Structure 1
């Protein structure tokens, strides 16, 4: 519709309850919105309830109606006086007085639905007008916009907005507005310019609908809660914030009557490109729920939700009618009027169907059913019964989680159960009960379902030197994880170059070390088998040096697997693939940890992340990144041939199986690329100048042939060594990156006192410069290679994942 890129921000009544709340919203708008964003507002505080009370008193002929109107006016006037000064204050109070006179006049007439709606609309009009004035006073240009000028619909239980016409009108409204626009939520107009309300909680719907009309990429709904929790935090104190939900999961939660999300709110989201974020205006920086446009992936329930007051409507068809035909016709009719039931119990043997509704909707549903009864040719009986409640589990795969289903049935069966419905989309199980006090049941369900240890399956790729070291460490350390985190680890797969073993019942790490009987596998079949895992989460550990394995990283993410890697190929791949891997893990809400790719067990990436997250910016990284080359140049004194040291290092397992991986500098080059990307710079391997110690001729040999011709290295190294020695310097293999000077890897002459010159054998050293560490760099030094420290880095990443899973 609009070439201008906009976002939508919606503030509910609790976010605008008093002057302090308005000032808080002003700060949020100044920090989190752009100059052309649209801001949707509800009526401040309890204004809508006050106006509803006013209407009821007026209908009853109660003289207290005038007192209610005066009190409402005084509340609004108090907000204006506390927030605005001088001329702006006078203007808004004058406009308020005009509105109060209008309301008073309407109250003296016969109040039809449109007149009542016109009175109710004032709550949103006052909020929009006041917030726009407050923004202008703070020198943030803004206009208020009455949504009745563009949102077009007709009066109904759940009004359906004409999006085509509304979009055209909105385009015209926005043409002359250049700043932020504060839009009234909850209200629309019909073709005769009469006021229509969009239903309770209609402001959230207004916001996502507005986003669809202007093709906004993001809608943020600000309220008094940070988002969706695993249960109602007011009832279940240890309920946890759900930071991410799929759109389907959110829609199912809304359909089941969630107090945070409403079914109509998400309808425009499905049909547009927008993402939805739920945040708390009281604590804007303390978490949020992101609703993502992706397929739901999961192994069970994430949320326990409930309805305290559920109404059931029994519809009985005549015995002579076609039950299936009558049922289909009824469900279609209700859906067309936006009155689909929350839950349904079919009883074809009795020619009956039982429909569940919230108290807010049931009267509209009954009216629609009575109309249906009058129109149908067959006899229909309708009976309304109250005194019920509902408890439901929501989450991808919940209906297939046998353990959770069993626990749910066990706990609800202790109450007066009416019926259970399983969601056709496998996203929910709901139980209708005779009305009870729900808090004890909700707490019990939450504890049983979400406080049990999470089962984590682990699959290892790479049963070589480091892999064997990690298996030994895992066998020693795995018992410590349950002590520290609420998880259970299960090693269920081990794969090496000759094949592997997969057993979801669990493998003994020590037995795998002693008696490994691998079976060959095909990747596509293995991925399909892994996707059938029974665990809450599955973690892949890649300790190979295989580029081929790294090509499967995006598929790991798409299957919902998490990844820990010491394999450098993906981190140092071309940007297109590297970014695809990163995006795949992000899109599928999976974690990829790769701290072992650089520095083995040294906290290099974690330290750089800490700097970045705290607001600093890494500007340069340098050091000696190869434990092998560190050892070689610390040992080399010109007396013993360099080739002899290489062979000695190879025999001691200090080099890669092919020593040229170390000697060529490619391993160091990959590490430098990984760190530069970690610092936020877009680079390719080809951007790093590389000085290889190995000639092209030596690179052409097979490994055993290379070792026979290794002495060809000696002359060059001795010449460089002597040149350095003559200048009183030492020879070292150094990696350097600077955002100004670029990146290079190769031999350097250093002062003997230089920090890079005096390391213990096999040590790495990393020097990190940033804005904060400009003149005195952050230096990290220690063993940067070896079976034990690398295995320890893998284990540390696994423990970090367990912490994330246990939250």
Structure 2
């Protein structure tokens, strides 16, 4: 014989009930069945809601009761032929009238006792079991309805304390006289030894089925639900979660205790003693394999079987010198909670005995504080103990697996993975069996923690990066093109899955935590909400995704000011916007410190040389113990383009305009031509070399006329350049007469920095620098006379985008 249990989602409505009846009919052709059913989906919540409304003198309880009645009568009318409906509807209405009378009494007394609440909650299973039996009879099944309250007896007013002797005798007596092929029982409900109706607690229908299975020595207990077994994590929160086809009783107990809601924790104990397998199946996909739970320990290579969590938790903390070395303290603590029927989920205590921390259900937190403060009133009054502290909005995450036993490094991997994503661990507990490592975290971090750990322990070394991109002009749009183009390569070769979850320009912004399609982002952005840099950050923080990277492709100083907020949330920052790193040194230093403190990468390679590895090379030299003596560089691809193409027969204005149109300059070309852009770059290199320096400390030998520098708009600047062609022609002629080329050079030497236009002779490394290329010479202890040279394309949207792309990949490979 098999025992089958169908949950609320499996009997939610007439359609799903018909699927249940089909499954029962097919299995009953092979063997006898005991079938346990829950209330119709959502009904138990409605019943409890009605009770609460009535106790609060809220007449809305009547509307809630109407909703409950409608749900059940619709099921009857869909499942039962019209000719047979009258008697069944009459019986259902009779039960609903009793329910209404109960709620009316609660309303008049303004009081809802635990006993009355249990009676009200039981109506869901009583009604659903009756309707399902009658529907099954219509289908021709040989079926009988048996009230579980006549069989299952609780010893005290507790969720799981069963008088197994009396209960088993009742079940055996029923079985001895039962001749029907299928017996159906309402789950969840029971009675006390005094004959009073009670319940087995939320999820108690599983327990009902387990009690029946153990009492009858069933061949198998089947739990039918809306998922295909137990998963490596909650599939509603972790899209990559996969079903686990076999687990042991011990693993199932650990996972169910820590929130795996496909099975109720006490379910396992009765069947474990009888070695009865549990099969978890999907009512809506009966062909799926499901999960088999047996005594056999898994032989899989992966140490972790699953990740589970409980989200409605509070932490109770008791601390003080009065605890240290005092025998019996823990006894008083736990006895107090026991007497109030408060379950302790997790315990951790410092070896100093100065503090003890307990995790309990959030609904019990205030009650626990009240009774513990009373128990330790004397110690608190003498300041030997502090009053009990409550911390709400926390959750427990647990790694579970038989093969975790003696597996080295699991705790370290768990903690480092969470730490890298700014998930703070409030408490830690690990059992001596080493089959469970549990941590308490903030409730808001549940989804990120589950996905991060699942990626670390279950996925094929594929790391997912979530990008928040602001600025989709020349550089930003090229970056998105490159991301789309390299998607397959990154996944196959580097095991990186890069997902763009937010995009913003100066007008609009869009968000999608499942990823924005990179082939249609332009159209979606046009329909987005109004852009706001601070709201963009707030949304990124709220989404709280693992491996988050903020990418700034703008030159906006307001956006640069927000970097610190991203870093403080352990979100990496990648930017080509050099304003932040060239700002006051204290701000630069703060960003570096935040990056280290919160383990959030802050990468800005493109600040100096677009796609060239200039900062990376400098950092590697310093990290390996070298000392920087001098840096000489042509750091502006735009200025190099301008002076390489400025020659006889061409005006300076036309070349500047050409550079602007081809994307070599900033939107405002004065930023490049004034030398301020180059000054910022050499400032960044000086700071990366270890020098404390400000932008005003850099000598800037401007070649632009004063009136050009003082213009207030791009058009005015270009007009001024055109009007001063004679000035630029004279500079060009002077260089040509000396056989030199014009290069805008930055130099840092012995703590001093300067930038300016120079005449470069033919024997200098800068002389043959073509197009928009950049070049940097590093003179160090190791390269005193022949400098280390970094040379290549230093401007243009495509190479800058590739530099940003490289920084993103660098973060992904960490």
Structure-2 change in CA distance of 1:337 and 1:425 (3 Å): farther
How far apart, in 1, do the equivalents of 2:198 and 2:378 lie?
27
Deviation at 1:57, TM superposition (A): 1.2
Structure-2 change in CA distance of 1:324 and 1:273 (3 Å): farther
Conservation of the 8 A alpha-carbon contact between 1:154 and 1:189: no
Q: Helix, strand or coil for the counterpart of 2:19? A: helix
Alignment partner, residue 433 of structure 1: 441
Alignment partner, residue 66 of structure 1: 62
1:400 counterpart = 2:396: no
How far apart, in 1, do the equivalents of 2:287 and 2:364 lie?
35
Deviation at 1:423, TM superposition (A): 2.4
Deviation at 1:403, TM superposition (A): 4.5
Conservation of the 8 A alpha-carbon contact between 2:369 and 2:389: no
Deviation at 1:58, TM superposition (A): 0.7
How far apart, in 2, do the equivalents of 1:319 and 1:59 lie?
43
Structure-2 change in CA distance of 1:226 and 1:169 (3 Å): same
Deviation at 1:44, TM superposition (A): 0.6
1:411 counterpart (396, 417, 420) = 417
How far apart, in 2, do the equivalents of 1:407 and 1:351 lie?
28
Alignment partner, residue 124 of structure 2: 123
Alignment partner, residue 139 of structure 2: 138
How far apart, in 2, do the equivalents of 1:337 and 1:263 lie?
21
Alignment partner, residue 12 of structure 2: 17
Deviations 1:361-382 (A, max 9, x none): 6578668867976999999854
**Equivalent residues in 2 for 1:529-544, closer than 5 Å:** none
**Equivalent residues in 2 for 1:209-224, closer than 5 Å:** 209-224=211-226
Q: TM-score, normalised by structure 2?
A: 0.52
1:114 counterpart = 2:122: no
Deviation at 1:205, TM superposition (A): 1.3
1:302 counterpart (283, 291, 305) = 305
**Equivalent residues in 2 for 1:352-431, closer than 5 Å:** 352-359=355-362, 382-398=388-404, 400-413=406-419, 414-431=422-439
Conservation of the 8 A alpha-carbon contact between 1:419 and 1:432: yes
Deviation at 1:143, TM superposition (A): 1.1
Structure-2 change in CA distance of 1:162 and 1:371 (3 Å): farther
Structure-2 change in CA distance of 1:364 and 1:297 (3 Å): farther
1:194 counterpart (191, 196, 209) = 196
Structure-2 change in CA distance of 1:327 and 1:259 (3 Å): same
Structure-2 change in CA distance of 1:363 and 1:410 (3 Å): same
How far apart, in 1, do the equivalents of 2:291 and 2:54 lie?
42
How far apart, in 2, do the equivalents of 1:12 and 1:356 lie?
28
Alignment partner, residue 785 of structure 1: none
How far apart, in 1, do the equivalents of 2:371 and 2:94 lie?
39
Structure-2 change in CA distance of 1:375 and 1:301 (3 Å): farther
Alignment partner, residue 56 of structure 1: 52
Structure-2 change in CA distance of 1:360 and 1:74 (3 Å): same
Alignment partner, residue 163 of structure 1: 164
Conservation of the 8 A alpha-carbon contact between 1:248 and 1:296: no
Q: Helix, strand or coil for the counterpart of 1:39? A: strand
Alignment partner, residue 650 of structure 1: none
Deviations 1:142-190 (A, max 9, x none): 1111111111114534341101011122233344332211111111111
**Equivalent residues in 2 for 1:595-614, closer than 5 Å:** none
Conservation of the 8 A alpha-carbon contact between 1:88 and 1:133: no
Q: Helix, strand or coil for the counterpart of 1:424? A: coil
How far apart, in 2, do the equivalents of 1:346 and 1:159 lie?
28
Q: Helix, strand or coil for the counterpart of 1:402? A: coil
1:42 counterpart (38, 54, 58) = 38
Segments of 5+ residues of structure 2 without an aligned counterpart are 463-490, 496-814
Conservation of the 8 A alpha-carbon contact between 1:185 and 1:203: yes
Deviations 1:488-517 (A, max 9, x none): xxxxxxxxxxxxxxxxxxxxxxxxxxxxxx
Conservation of the 8 A alpha-carbon contact between 2:232 and 2:242: yes
How far apart, in 2, do the equivalents of 1:204 and 1:363 lie?
30
Deviation at 1:418, TM superposition (A): 1.4
Alignment partner, residue 256 of structure 2: 254
How far apart, in 1, do the equivalents of 2:367 and 2:272 lie?
25
Deviations 1:654-691 (A, max 9, x none): xxxxxxxxxxxxxxxxxxxxxxxxxxxxxxxxxxxxxx
Alignment partner, residue 774 of structure 2: none
How far apart, in 2, do the equivalents of 1:107 and 1:483 lie?
62
Deviation at 1:221, TM superposition (A): 0.4
Alignment partner, residue 230 of structure 1: 232
Alignment partner, residue 282 of structure 2: 280
Deviation at 1:329, TM superposition (A): 6.3
Alignment partner, residue 705 of structure 1: none
Q: Helix, strand or coil for the counterpart of 2:154? A: coil
Alignment partner, residue 244 of structure 1: 246
Conservation of the 8 A alpha-carbon contact between 1:247 and 1:292: yes
How far apart, in 2, do the equivalents of 1:374 and 1:40 lie?
48
Conservation of the 8 A alpha-carbon contact between 1:311 and 1:357: yes
How far apart, in 1, do the equivalents of 2:378 and 2:32 lie?
50
How far apart, in 2, do the equivalents of 1:335 and 1:402 lie?
36
How far apart, in 1, do the equivalents of 2:173 and 2:212 lie?
14
Deviation at 1:121, TM superposition (A): 0.9
Deviation at 1:322, TM superposition (A): 4.8
How far apart, in 1, do the equivalents of 2:278 and 2:366 lie?
30
Deviation at 1:70, TM superposition (A): 1.7
How far apart, in 1, do the equivalents of 2:292 and 2:436 lie?
20
Q: Helix, strand or coil for the counterpart of 1:284? A: coil
CA RMSD of aligned residues (A): 3.2
Conservation of the 8 A alpha-carbon contact between 2:248 and 2:296: yes
How far apart, in 2, do the equivalents of 1:371 and 1:92 lie?
54
Conservation of the 8 A alpha-carbon contact between 1:158 and 1:337: no
Q: Helix, strand or coil for the counterpart of 1:307? A: strand
Deviation at 1:407, TM superposition (A): 2.2
Q: Helix, strand or coil for the counterpart of 1:354? A: strand
Structure-2 change in CA distance of 1:354 and 1:324 (3 Å): farther
Deviation at 1:336, TM superposition (A): 9.4
Deviation at 1:28, TM superposition (A): 0.7
Deviation at 1:270, TM superposition (A): 2.6
Moved more, 52-61 or 363-372: 363-372
Conservation of the 8 A alpha-carbon contact between 1:257 and 1:342: no
Conservation of the 8 A alpha-carbon contact between 2:323 and 2:329: no
Deviations 1:437-478 (A, max 9, x none): 332332222122112469xxxxxxxxxxxxxxxxxxxxxxxx
**Equivalent residues in 2 for 1:682-697, closer than 5 Å:** none
Conservation of the 8 A alpha-carbon contact between 1:36 and 1:178: no
Structure-2 change in CA distance of 1:399 and 1:327 (3 Å): farther
Structure-2 change in CA distance of 1:347 and 1:35 (3 Å): same
Deviation at 1:348, TM superposition (A): 4.7
Structure-2 change in CA distance of 1:54 and 1:449 (3 Å): same
